[in-house]
Amino acid sequence: MQNAATAIRVQDRLALPPMKRPEIRAELDRLSLRYPFPQSEWKRLTRREWILDYAKPGRRSIGAEIGVFRGHFSECICEVLRPRKLYLVDPWTLIGPTFNWGKLDYTNNDELPTAVARDEAILRCAQFPKVDTVVVEGAFPACKDQIAEPLDWVYLDASHSYQKTLNELFALDALVAPSGTILGDDWQINPTGKHHGVFAAVQEFVRQSDWRIVAAGPAGQWALRRYTEA
């Protein structure tokens, strides 16, 4: 796996030729037919949106999604929060030509190219031209210097293992504004769960920091804010 991270703006990527929203939707429909997204994940998208209530919405906010995949939840973030600026952070093609996660419906039996997933995420956010979307193709936290300003919120859905998630959380501690929020996916309390490492890492992080859990549960979502005394 390569280590060099690159950052581009969605508007710059699509500048030649410019694409209108109907053209973008047509291309997204084509990609969905070629590489179907599991129905179970489509349904879970709406069930995940409640956690965005804990993020600062509106044109003054700056946020990041770490672990983007095909950009389906990125599209939800743009639709619900309408931030001024959104960083999309994912290693994509730095992993290789495919994700190599095994024969899963999620990756179309490992036939989904990482470049296609990245370009689909770009298209999904391009539907929101008022959101200044910056695509960072790199592994977090190694690429954290590509994020140029404090974040009002971040949505973490990246490594899912205990130690890597803990490292990501401590890196975010320095990137998130004092009043900001860390949100995330794959909250699994059951120790036999595939992504239980996320739950365990969040618990350890709050033990070692001034962050506290303010919401967790439905659809595997969770949210943290810094503790402040009244």
What is the C-alpha separation between 159 and 13, in angstroms, rounded? 27
Between 228 and 155, residue with greater pLDDT:
155
pLDDT at residue 18 above 80? no
Query: Which pLDDT score, from 0 to 100, does residue 16 have?
Result: 44
pLDDT at residue 192 above 60? yes
- Residue 77: CB atoms within 10 A of its CB come to 27
DSSP structural state of residue 56 = P
Query: Which pLDDT score, from 0 to 100, does residue 87 have?
Result: 97
Whole-prediction pTM value?
0.93
Instruction: Give the chain's mean pLDDT.
Output: 92
List, in order of start, the domains of the chain with CATH numbers: 6-226 (3.40.50.150)
Q: Residue 46, exposed/middle/buried by CB under 10 A (0-12, 13-18, 19+)? A: exposed
Please, what's the largest Cα pairwise distance for the chain? 54
Average pLDDT over residues 197-216: 98
C-alpha separations of 94 from 3, 36, 52, 86 in Å: 7, 23, 29, 21
Q: Measured on CA atoms in the order 17, 19, 24, 26, is the torsion positive or negative?
A: negative
Which of 158, 166, 142, 164 lies closest to 2 in space, CA to CA?
142
Query: Which pLDDT score, from 0 to 100, does residue 11 have?
Result: 60
pLDDT in tens, 100-153: 998 999 999 999 999 999 999 999 999 999 999 999 999 999 999 999 999 999
**Residue 69 neighbours by CB under 8 Å, 6+ apart:** 90, 117, 121, 157
